[in-house]
Chains A and B, each alone.
Chain A
Amino acid sequence: MAKPIQLLAKSSKLLHSLADGGALPISELAEELDMPRPSVYRLTDALRLVGLTSTAEDGRIQLGVEVLHLARAVLDTLPEARAAQGELQRLNRVTGQTVYLCAPRENTVACLDWVRGTRVSLLALSPGGTLPVNAGATSRAVLAYSPGLLEGLSGLSLEKLTPNTLTSLEGLERDGKEIRQRGYSVSREDVTAGVSALGAPVFGPDGKVSCAISLAGLTDDILGNESEYASELLTSAGKIQEVLKASR
C-alpha cells in the first residue's frame, strides 16, 4: 500500500491538474503525476466512486460535481463567510466592483469568497487562492492589525509582485500606521499593474482580526471613488462584525 501521504498527495495533484486543465486523458494525467497508467486508472476509479472525478463522454477524466458541494460546505462552515455573504453582494451592487472576503491562514491571506465586478475580471485572486501578507488590500488590512504576524515576517524575504509591492518591514510598519489612522488599506497596483483596491479589517468577537473585505477594480475606478467606496466598505465591515458577534 502506498504511503497515505503519497497517495493523498497524488489525489490532490490529480484534482488540481483537472481544475487547471479541464477534462484530461489518462495518458496526460499519468505524465503529470509521474505514475504508471494502471495506477492512474485505479486512482481515478477510486475518486470517481466518491464523486470527486467523473468520466466525460469521450473518456477523458474531469472534476466531479461533489467538489462543488464540498466548496459550498466550506463556506457554510466558516462563520466569517456566512456573516459576510449579504454584505459582499450589497457592496457589489452599490459599486459594481469586485468584492473579496479574505482571512489569514498561516503566513498568507486566503480568499474565501468573492462577488465578481462587472467591468473587469481579476485573475490574481479567487476563492481558495492566497496572497502574501505584504501584498493586496485585504492582506495589508490584516497585517496592520496583527502585530504578531508582522513580527513573524522578520528575516523572511517578502515577495515583490509588482514594483509597488511593499517588501521592507519598515515600509509595512509605516503602512500599518497609516491604515490604523485611516481605518482602511489602500492597495495601489501592488498585486497587479492597473488594479487597485481598498480593504477593511473585520474583527472577531475575541477582538482579533477575523477576516478582511476589499473592493478591487481598475485603478481609476477605485481610487477615483476612494472616499465613497471606503465609507461603504467600513459600513459593511461593521455589519459583518455585528453578525459575527451575535452568532457566537
Chain B
Amino acid sequence: MTDTGEASVGGMGLVTKSVAVLQALAASGELTVGQLSDATGEPVSSLYRLLSSLDAIGWVEQGSKRGKFRLGLDFLWLGARLEAQLDVRRLALPELTRLHEATGETVFLCIRRGMSAVCIERIDGRDVQIHSLRLGESLPLGEGVAPRAILAFESPDFVARYLRDAASRAPVSAIAPDREQLVRLLDETAASGVAVAEADWVDGIGGVGAPIFDHKGHVVAALSISGLSGRLFSGDIDVVALVTQAARAVSLKLGSESFTGRVNRGQANSAASQEQ
C-alpha cells in the first residue's frame, strides 16, 4: 500500500492504512487478519497492532467467529449524526442560486410529503412571475416537473399506490388526462433522469426538474426551473443540462456517490408501466 503525499507526513499514513482496513471490511463484511492483509497489502504483524487500536476506538469489532473482524458500531453513531446534519435545503441553496443567476428564471426545491411534493425553497424569476408552487405549497406528485422527477424515482410499490389513488380522479393530472399517459411520462422521466415539460401546468409555461438522491440511492428531493417555454428552451442555455448538473451536485453533497467510487442511484421505474 502506498501513502499518498501529504497523508504520509508525520505518521498520517496510519489514517490512510486504517481506512484501507475499513474499506476492505465494508466491501467484504467479516474478514480474518490474513484476508485483511491480502486486501490491503499490509503485513499481518502490523495489522494486529492496528486492529487492536481500531477496536479500542470502536472502528472495528470482533466478528461472529473468533479471529474475524468487522466494522465497528461507532460508524452507526457518526452516520446517524451526519444524516441529521445534512439538510437538503441548505445544501441545495448555492445550486439553486447558481441556476437562477445563469438563467434568470424561477427555480424550486421540492421534497415529498405523502402523495404530494412540497416546495421548500424557491427563487423568483427576474421578469416572469410563476404563480403556482409558492413556498410551502404542494402539488400532487403527478403534476409539475419537480413532483414528477420525485415520483419517477420512487419505489415501484409507491408508484403503483400513487397510480391507484390518482386513477380515481379525472383527469388523472393536469398534464396527463389518463393513467396511461402519466405512466408514459414517468417512464420517460425515469429513463432520461430528468422531467421535461414544454408546457406543463399553465399554457406557455414550461419547466425542467431533476431528482436529488441520498447516500442510499433514495430520491429525497427534486430541483426544478420554470419559465416561459419559448424562452426556456430556445435560448443559448441548455437548461436540461444545467438542472441535471445542479441536482447531481446536491446529490453528491448528500453522499450519493461513495468516496470509493461506488455509485448509488435510484432504481429507474420501468415498474411503473409493469404495474398496470
Contacts and interface: CB of A to CB of B under 8 A. Distances in A.
Interface in A143-197: none
Contacts of B143: none
Dominant secondary structure at the A interface: helix
A52 B22 CA distance: 11
Contact of A4 (B4, B7, B53, B61): B53
B115 to A, nearest CB: 16
Interface in B23-39: 25-27, 29-30
A46 B255 contact: no
Dominant secondary structure at the B interface: helix
Interface in B10-62: 10-12, 14-16, 18-19, 22, 25-27, 29-30, 49-50, 53-54, 56-59, 61
A221 interface: no
B75 A70 contact: yes
B79 A72 contact: yes
B74 A77 contact: no
B70 interface: yes
B75 to A, nearest CB: 4
B58 A12 contact: yes
Contact of B77 (A45, A50, A129): A129
Contacts of A8: 14-15, 18, 53-54, 56-57, 59
Nearest to A66: B259
A110 B73 contact: yes
B10 A73 contact: no
B75 A5 contact: no
Interface residues of B, number: 53
B245 interface: no
Interface string A6-28: 01110110011001101000000
Contact of A68 (B15, B50, B59, B82): B82
A75 interface: yes
A64 interface: yes
Interface string A92-121: 000000000000010000111100000000
B259 to A, nearest CB: 3
A128 B61 CA distance: 13
B80 A77 contact: no
A19 B73 CA distance: 14
A2 interface: yes
29 contacts: A2-B11, A5-B56, A8-B59, A9-B53, A9-B56, A11-B57, A16-B77, A39-B10, A46-B7, A46-B16, A49-B4, A50-B7, A50-B15, A51-B259, A65-B215, A65-B258, A66-B259, A68-B79, A68-B255, A69-B258, A69-B262, A70-B26, A72-B79, A73-B25, A74-B72, A74-B79, A105-B73, A128-B79, A129-B77
Q: Closest 10 CB pairs between A and B?
A: A71-B79, A128-B77, A65-B255, A51-B259, A1-B11, A128-B76, A73-B26, A46-B12, A50-B19, A19-B81
